[in-house]
Structure 1
Amino acid sequence: MGSTGHLVVAGGPETDLVQAARSRLEGLESLWSRFRADSELCRLNASPGRWVELSPPTVAVVRQAVRAWEATDGLFDPTVLPALEAAGYTGSFEDLPREQLSAPRLDRVPGCAGIDVRDDRVRLPPGVRLELGGIGKGYAADLVAQELLAAGATGACVNLGGDVRAAGTAPGNATWVVGVEDEARPGTDLAWLGLREGAVATSTRLRRRWRQRGQERHHLIDPSTAAPTANEVTTVTVVAGEAHWAEVLAKAALIAGVDAGRALLETHQVAGLLMKKDGTAHPAGPWERFVAWTPNCGGISPASAG
């Protein structure tokens, strides 16, 4: 998934559960990676106009991606893959040259209207290819956290590249604490968030960056322009019930901009924090309800938890 992951398991046979969760995550990555030719996602993308039989997790994440596109009026769009490649994100990020030649510019993103999902099959219309990176990380965190509880853990916290799902009881019957890193100042925290149960996801355009013909590029594509978003918002963090939904809304709010992004989060009744290029913070919904610490509170923050 191109990210660092952390697993915390409370109760149960911890060693066995952690190893099983690691294996499960590796299996999901092998299904959804666009950089592995044998993945189910690549097989689906290579079969336009044809029904493709897929495993239940893949069908489920595609179905959730289409629903997210509908719920955000297209701000979240898993069909941006050709636009992402045109912007230069053509391989695993760690292997990308930081200066790239320009590619033909796309003028539109097709959207999800023609995608069919039935039982264990999916059919993509010609010209549509999916990118499941963000929602896939969140969905994997949700799935693994719930599977850990079902396997006997009393609590589980799964962090996949900043998409965090906390479920069950934290160690010592405490609140799960998730550190929100200041993306403009890596290694420092903007806040700690306290959760009894739920999810936190952050979307930012400050990390995965490169240059294309002298221009800055990043991986967050605005579906309305088929190009990397260029508004004033650099980072959005969302607190929601599920990690994949927090990821979807964080990305959609970043693409929408400050005012429309805050309105989107409040419409969906989630908490969020939008950061602008000038360093100002714009909370949305019941953000303060989850804040357990900020630098202005005094004290010293520990290493970021997600």
Structure 2
Amino acid sequence: MSKKKKILLFSILIMMILFLTACNNQSELKKVEDNAFLMDTLVKVRAHGNGAEKAVKESIDQIEAIENLMSKTVTKSDVYKLNHNPKKEIIIAPETMVVLKKAKKYANLTAGDFDPTLGALVNLWGIGTKNPTVPQPSAIEKALKNTGYQYLDLNEESAKLTQAKVKIDLGGIVKGYAADSVRKIMKKNEVKHAFVNLGGNVLVIGDKVDGSAWKIGIQDPRKGRGSVMAIVAAKDMTIVTSGNYERYFEENGKLYHHIIDPKTGYPAQNNLLSVSIISSSSFDADALSTSIYVMGLKKGMKFIETIDEVEAMFITKELDVYLSSGLKELVEIKNKDFNLIEGEYFAN
């Protein structure tokens, strides 16, 4: 055998050894997972790597801390203090202020289709509680007079509700903030592969241990959790879904879901079953999934197409699926009941 051939074979052998070693190292990465019931939902955090155990514990603790700061029912929270001390300046924790400012930003950006001051309406309907009810029109009109993001006054370190009976409810954005906080914890602990699920708000960090993309299922809105109608290939990405199947009740044969239209005071009435937002920021995606659902297909699609690096998937009651322009290579429809609609339908 010539000297050149020996060198070539030796080089190939070394490369194979390095490749196999790398595969073994990846497959042997420590996996840590924990679950907790926080923010009125089941939270799952999974991480791989040497820093996984610390990262997962810190993540669960951080989500609980965020809940204690921003829950409307925790008596020591910033939101509770705001809601129960109208027209008074309340000192706010920096983390809460970040969420309040982002919430007000999206309220302005969506012309009120997202509104963090829907507490009076949310309480009135009681959807997700033991005793939901269809309120009288007069009660809804009264509650509408006690909503409006213009009544939320934010300063550097304090906030104030300028009208009595206005109530803050951050349920449409706080889980997104929590997910992005977990991302920071994972990065700090040098975790490169992680999966986070906050009741349907899904965040994946990096790729899977084997180097492939995460496969995130989009729930079939006609069925319960675990029923998948499409798969999204994801890496360093978040997927947040809002739909009429998440929390609802039925009365006299009519379904009433929890996504309240701030302009009418009733559950948003459009032809949508669900909207999924795909983005790098869970914080933004959370607010967008709610507001885009309220907007409906045509207005919502136009809005999404104006935002860089944010995509959306709409499912209508006819089981038609509409994808924003950047999603077409990432989504695979798995259920033949659903019909992918293609074309520039959002341009007009």
TM-score range, shorter chain: 0.7 to 0.9
Match of 1:227 among 239, 256, 266: 266
Q: Does 1:81 align with 2:114?
A: no
Which of 280, 286, 292 is matched with 1:253 structurally? 292
* Distance in 2, Cα, partners of 1:97 & 1:113: 30
**Contact 1:49/1:123 (<8 A) preserved:** yes
More displaced, 220-229 or 104-113?
Answer: 104-113
Displacement after TM superposition at 1:116 (Å): 2.4
Which residue of structure 2 aligns with residue 191 of structure 1?
A: 230
Q: Note if 1:96 corresponds to 2:130.
A: yes
Which letter maps to 2:319? G
Whole-Å separation in 2 of the counterparts to 1:197 and 1:21: 17
- Structure 2: state its 5+ residue gaps: 1-38, 337-348
State the Cα deviation string for residues 17-52 of structure 1 (Å, max 9, x = none): 212211111111122222223322111111211211
RMSD (Å) for aligned C-alpha atoms:
2.1
1:60 lines up with 2:94 in the alignment: no
Structure 1 runs, 4 residues or longer, greater than 6 Å off: none
- Deviation sequence 1:72-113 (CA, Å, 0-9, x none): 121111111111222233xxx3x5135x47352236363222
Amino acid at match of 1:202: T
- How much does 1:195 deviate? 2.0
Q: Tell me which residue corresponds to 2:140.
A: 105
Determine if contact 1:145/1:157 at 8 Å carries over to the other structure. Answer: no
Superposed CA offset, 1:154-192 (max 9, x none): 233321111122234532333232211112122321211
Secondary structure of the 2:305 match is: helix
1:303 equivalent in structure 2: none
Shift of 1:8: 1.9
Residue number in structure 1 paired with 2:156? 119
How many angstroms does 1:6 deviate by? 1.5
Tell me if the contact between 1:75 and 1:223 (Cα under 8 Å) persists in the aligned partners.
Answer: yes
In structure 2, what is the Cα distance between the partners aligned to 1:87 and 1:101?
6
How far 1:11 sits from its partner (Å)?
1.8
Tell me whether 1:46 sits opposite 2:81 in the alignment. Answer: no
Find the counterpart in structure 2 of residue 281 from structure 1. Answer: 321
> Residue 54 of structure 2 contacts residue 189 of structure 2 at CA under 8 Å; is this kept in 1?
no
Give the equivalent residue in structure 2 for 1:131: 169
Greater Rg by CA: 2
Change (3 A) 1:293 1:277: closer
TM-score (norm 2): 0.77
Which residue identity is paired with 2:135?
S
Q: Following the alignment from structure 1 to structure 2, what is the Cα–Cα distance between the partners of residues 258 and 160?
A: 25
> CA shift at 1:292, angstroms?
5.0
Residues 202-250 of structure 1 show CA distances to partners (whole Å, capped at 9, x for unaligned) of 0011120124687532211111101111211121001112112112222
Mapped to 2, the partners of 1:213 and 1:141 lie a distance apart of: 38
Structure 1 residue 146, shift from structure 2 partner: 1.4
How many residue pairs get matched? 291
Could you tell me whether the CA contact under 8 Å between 1:4 and 1:161 is conserved in 2?
Answer: yes
1:265 aligns with 2:304: yes
Seen in structure 2, the aligned counterparts of structure 1 residues 194 and 148 have a Cα distance that, compared at 3 Å, is same
Tell me the amino acid that sits aligned with residue 219 of structure 1: H
Residues 118, 205 of structure 1: CA spacing in aligned structure 2 closer, same or farther, 3 A cutoff? same
- Aligned-partner Cα distance in 1 for 2:228–2:300: 22
SS at match of 2:273: strand
In the alignment, residue 216 of structure 1 is paired with which amino acid? L
CA distance in 2, matches of 1:86, 1:4: 25
Residue 153 of structure 1 is matched in structure 2 by: 191
Residue 345 (structure 2) aligns with: none
Cα distance in 2, alignment partners of residues 42 and 287 from structure 1 = 39
